[in-house]
Structure 1
Amino acid sequence: MASRDEDDNEPIVVPDAHAPPAPMDPAVIAEAEAAKEEANQLFKGKHYSAAIDLYTKAIDLNPSKAIYWGNRAAAYIKLESYGAAVADAEKATEIDPKYIKGYYRRGDAHFALGKYKLALKDLRTAAKVAPRDPDLRRKLAECEKEVKRLRFEEALAVPEAEQVSVLATLDLSMYDVIEDSYTGPRMQGSAAEGYTLTQEFVEAMVEEFRAQRTIHKRFAFEIIRQAHTLLRTLPSLVDVVIPDDKHFTVCGDVHGQFFDLLNIWDLNGRPSPDNPYLFNGDFVDRGSFSCEVIFALLAYKLLHPEALHMTRGNHESKSMNKVYGFDGEVKAKYNGTMVDCFRELFCALPLAVCLNGRVLVLHGGLFQQDNVTLDDIRRVDRFKEPPEEGIMCDALWADPSPVPGRTPSKRGVGLSFGKDVTRSFLDANGLELLVRSHEVKEEGYEVEHDGRLITVFSAPNYCDQMGNKGAFVRFNGNDMVPHFTTFSAVPHPDVRPMAYANSYLMGM
């Protein structure tokens, strides 16, 4: 088919939309395959970011190969970039509708995001292609169970306005009798007169946890109840003053890695009025010592309210805890009532901390809309499960990006924001620096956006497989310049990460 230009009457050839694509240069095909094979080796070695770079190279060279997209989706899943994994898996199945791993990957990503109905649809599609695949049958059964549970919960759901506080109505009398067989630490006081937390109890509790023992349910519930009462009094954005002659330490995600938390305290000292800390969300899930982590942090918060601060992470939420292990761990070590108590406690956690009016610390990142102020964060009604959009959602889920402006999140929730967004927000609010967590970093921390944004992550060798270092950052009050300490993982008891998580995730 041809047309003529009105000026010179030279024919212009218009390609036939239905014509087969021109054959690729064999050298380009070979280069793409080589990139894919090298990426596969990096994936096996758990170098997922590097693997993504090489899968991307293979895709750029030969975008018509479904396996390149599917493999990159698998690497994104390992890095918890579920939104990017969904997009790649969709592209893989678009290229080859019979490419079963494309449906697998998309189903895995949807399941990890708690989108069980979408995951079920993908797995059923895959089952039509491979009905006898044992891993697929297992995942399909698990997903069907979650969809049934979700429908049951939706049928029984009480409107938010009618919900009753579990902690306010909690009857602890059934736990008042401390059995003679209990040899662990005891709080001062009694059930009748009230219990008091002491330094001696907290230190003994930490040692009990180190020995892989639990504390009595009566004391565990008491810690939760007292901590909830304290946290409820705090604003959604807490202002902290660091005197010129004092310092302040910020830690990122700990994710149930209790023995690495103890190592932080061995390196940097226990929390005290002279050694204050902020733990910036994601205390629980993934690691299998989440109960020990959260009780240790809450106990120090009660012991030294002005010396240990806690901000909420995206994993301090009902949807995450159901999937990633915290619910199962609490039920195994204590009971199901405590799960409900923790949900209410997590909803009382502040969203951000401002240090000396110069450094803002929150778990995720910045916001979908312009002109958000610190007062807007202070006014957020945080006493609820995280919504799917708005300031609270972004504070828990957003990530920085090298791309200017705001772009869709690779996680499938929140957004990605560029250095221009960071600069504009900080300048408008008279701030110098943004500190956030939420992402694994090879060295435990990363400085981005022209030095005005820091990510700090404090769970080394995350999930016993990432090989990353952990880090914390210390500020001195007189100059507020960040000083970084990195550290490696320490040995822990032979309990694998995700031991209490949904069994679906074991195959991801």
Structure 2
Amino acid sequence: MTTSFKSDLTQNVQSNTCSTSSTEKAEADLIKLQANQAFKDSDYEKAIELYTKAIHTHPDAILYSNRSVAYLRREWYGFALIDAKKALEYDPKYIKAYYRRASAYMALGKFTAALSDYEYVKKVLPYDNDAITKYEECKKVVTRIRFERAIAVGESRQYVVNQIDANSMTIEPEYGGPHLDMNGRVTQQFMSELLPYLETQKLLHKKYVYQIILQILSILKSLPTLVEITVPDKHKFTICGDVHGQFYDLLNIFKLNGLPSEENPYLFNGDFVDRGAFSVECIITLFGFKLLYPKHFFLARGNHESIIMNQMYGFEGEVKAKYTPEMFQLFTEVFNYLPLAHCINKKIFVIHGGLFSKDDITLQDICAIDRVRQPSDEGLMAELLWSDPQTQNGRCESKRGLGIQFGPDITERFLKLNNLEYIVRSHELKQQGYDLGHNRKCITVFSAPNYCDTMGNKGAFITITGDDITPKFTSYAAVPHPTARPMMYANQSSLFASM
């Protein structure tokens, strides 16, 4: 009788457990459908929130894999990688999880690891054209990197800057665009003619582009890693965030806020290129204004001013399509000299990404960074370019897979140590174009509205005056642009899979 009672009790417990599990699975499936719809609507943050809710209800490989691709679309590559690995823990044979993990590895520049995953997919699906294409494209990247490393040995590397003779290039009689002056210099007249010329989708002559890039290189070489900016009393100063190749929105900034001049100075805080289809027009414009107003127009390096990002997200393809492979190599060399940080009136610290994994970093430490190189995966330079703020105190692993996430207490200690008022950074889409984080001490500004023609966000810029550094924000919507889809020059076959 006792045995029978225990047996019945065990069966009831198992039955209730199965019933509960079945109910949770059904609930999670309903939430997943809502999340899938949010993803299709390009509302990736809502999709992530719903996938997370479903995972908490009843986790499985599909939910982690789906959240992984949503993280990929938000460019949170670190979280995407974690979720892809988690999906494979639940189901080691779930093929989509290998796609997700490979995409995350690709986005993080870990091409050998990505190749291993694509190789597995191709082995499981030997006749799948998509699997074959992704494997072959990734293999090309790995082969190219190995070749470039083999020929770039120490000081024996041949820099493109030493091979370009722009002055010997001829201007064809049929060229009808703007001209540099007789000494090959940028003038106000040149810039006033350049903007409307580029706006009509015409290309500046390659001789002039080469001359502009070479002159910019000379200026950038003379600058420190951290540039000090002085804004006099009553004078306005404007800070812009990412523009990401959205040339027509860049022109709109100048329409709203006035063209750059000695009386109207600007700082553009990195990520000038990639994503948008008009990165060449953006960088030529920004370089032109830097040459025209070298002491009143400032440029900082972003994480997308690097060869790996440019090869994946479109700038390399665009430069090669509009000009030459050598010009892209020259841009890569020039980007290495962009300053990493600016300090305005010794009170506002401006960097592209964020703060550091250590507490004792001073402005002197930042000045001492050897910036003339491609960014590594760790260290002060990587953290300046890649880190993001978080709402909770302390530090944690980056959602992007590079840099860190840092809390309000980290910001407060850095500001106090360096006698600063607040930080301005970019690097991160915000729906209004800006965000006042960490008790208004860590401000994000993002200047690419309707990012990639899909996100529906506004862009923004910040203005201050020398005697009033309280930030003032101007938000604006995207403006129409010619038919040219974002990422059209990117290495699409190596990027993200769909749902």
TM-score (normalised: structure 1)? 0.92
Match of 1:75 among 70, 73, 79: 70
**1:66–1:93 contact (8 Å) kept in structure 2:** yes
Deviation of residue 99 (structure 1)?
1.2
For residues 355-504 of structure 1, what are the structure 2 equivalents within 5 Å? 355-504=344-493
Match of 1:103 in 2: 98
Match of 1:141 in 2: 136
Percent identity, aligned pairs only, is 50
Query: Matches of 2:186 and 2:167 in 1, distance apart?
Result: 19
Q: Could you report, residue by residue, the CA deviation over 1:95-130 in whole angstroms, capped at 9, with x for unpaired residues?
A: 011211111101111112221211111122223333
Match of 1:85 in 2: 80
The amino acid of 2:102's aligned partner reads: G
Q: How many equivalent pairs are there?
A: 483
Q: Does 1:58 align with 2:51?
A: no
- Note the residue ranges of structure 2 that are not aligned, 5 or more in a row: 1-13
Query: Matches of 1:325 and 1:373 in 2, distance apart?
Result: 35
Deviation of residue 133 (structure 1)?
2.9
Match of 2:145 in 1: 150
Deviation of residue 490 (structure 1)?
0.9
**2:245–2:275 contact (8 Å) kept in structure 1:** yes
**1:142–1:503 contact (8 Å) kept in structure 2:** no
**1:330–1:336 contact (8 Å) kept in structure 2:** yes
Query: Matches of 2:463 and 2:391 in 1, distance apart?
Result: 25
Query: Matches of 1:20 and 1:224 in 2, distance apart?
Result: 73
Match of 1:170 in 2: 164
- CA 374–77 in structure 1, closer or farther in 2 if over 3 Å, else same: same
3-state SS of the aligned residue for 1:248? strand
The amino acid of 2:144's aligned partner reads: R
Deviation of residue 305 (structure 1)?
1.2
Q: Could you report, residue by residue, the CA deviation over 1:209-230 in whole angstroms, capped at 9, with x for unpaired residues?
A: 1011111111111110111111
3-state SS of the aligned residue for 2:436? strand
**1:120–1:143 contact (8 Å) kept in structure 2:** yes
- Deviates most, 21-30 or 293-302: 21-30
The amino acid of 1:353's aligned partner reads: H
- Deviates most, 30-39 or 334-343: 30-39
**2:107–2:495 contact (8 Å) kept in structure 1:** no
The amino acid of 2:46's aligned partner reads: A
Query: Matches of 2:55 and 2:401 in 1, distance apart?
Result: 21
Q: Could you report, residue by residue, the CA deviation over 1:225-258 in whole angstroms, capped at 9, with x for unpaired residues?
A: 1111111111111111112211111111000000
Match of 2:122 in 1: 127
The amino acid of 2:276's aligned partner reads: G
Match of 1:12 in 2: none
Deviation of residue 347 (structure 1)?
0.9
Query: Matches of 1:474 and 1:41 in 2, distance apart?
Result: 39
Q: Does 1:188 align with 2:181?
A: yes
- Note the residue ranges of structure 1 that are not aligned, 5 or more in a row: 1-18
Query: Matches of 1:506 and 1:359 in 2, distance apart?
Result: 37
Deviation of residue 169 (structure 1)?
4.5
**2:69–2:496 contact (8 Å) kept in structure 1:** no
3-state SS of the aligned residue for 1:238? strand
- Deviates most, 325-334 or 401-410: 401-410
Query: Matches of 1:486 and 1:173 in 2, distance apart?
Result: 42
3-state SS of the aligned residue for 1:294? helix
Query: Matches of 2:200 and 2:153 in 1, distance apart?
Result: 41
Query: Matches of 2:121 and 2:136 in 1, distance apart?
Result: 13
Match of 1:8 in 2: none
**1:252–1:437 contact (8 Å) kept in structure 2:** yes
Match of 1:30 in 2: 26
The amino acid of 1:183's aligned partner reads: G
More helix per residue = 2
Query: Matches of 2:157 and 2:130 in 1, distance apart?
Result: 39
Deviation of residue 430 (structure 1)?
0.6
Deviation of residue 261 (structure 1)?
0.3
3-state SS of the aligned residue for 1:167? helix
Deviation of residue 21 (structure 1)?
12
Match of 2:298 in 1: 309
The amino acid of 1:170's aligned partner reads: I
3-state SS of the aligned residue for 1:97? coil
Q: Could you report, residue by residue, the CA deviation over 1:8-41 in whole angstroms, capped at 9, with x for unpaired residues?
A: xxxxxxxxxxx99953444433332222221111
RMSD (CA atoms):
1.7
- CA 126–460 in structure 1, closer or farther in 2 if over 3 Å, else same: same
TM-score (normalised: structure 2)? 0.93
Q: Could you report, residue by residue, the CA deviation over 1:331-373 in whole angstroms, capped at 9, with x for unpaired residues?
A: 1111111112111111111001111111101000001122100
**2:229–2:345 contact (8 Å) kept in structure 1:** yes
Q: Could you report, residue by residue, the CA deviation over 1:358-405 in whole angstroms, capped at 9, with x for unpaired residues?
A: 110100000112210011111112111112221111111111112322
Match of 2:7 in 1: none
The amino acid of 2:157's aligned partner reads: Q
Match of 1:46 in 2: 42
Deviation of residue 168 (structure 1)?
4.1
Query: Matches of 1:163 and 1:29 in 2, distance apart?
Result: 59
Deviation of residue 507 (structure 1)?
5.0
Query: Matches of 2:331 and 2:431 in 1, distance apart?
Result: 31
- CA 505–461 in structure 1, closer or farther in 2 if over 3 Å, else same: farther
Deviation of residue 266 (structure 1)?
0.8
Deviation of residue 503 (structure 1)?
2.7
The amino acid of 2:247's aligned partner reads: F
**1:459–1:470 contact (8 Å) kept in structure 2:** yes
Query: Matches of 1:37 and 1:106 in 2, distance apart?
Result: 23
3-state SS of the aligned residue for 1:451? coil
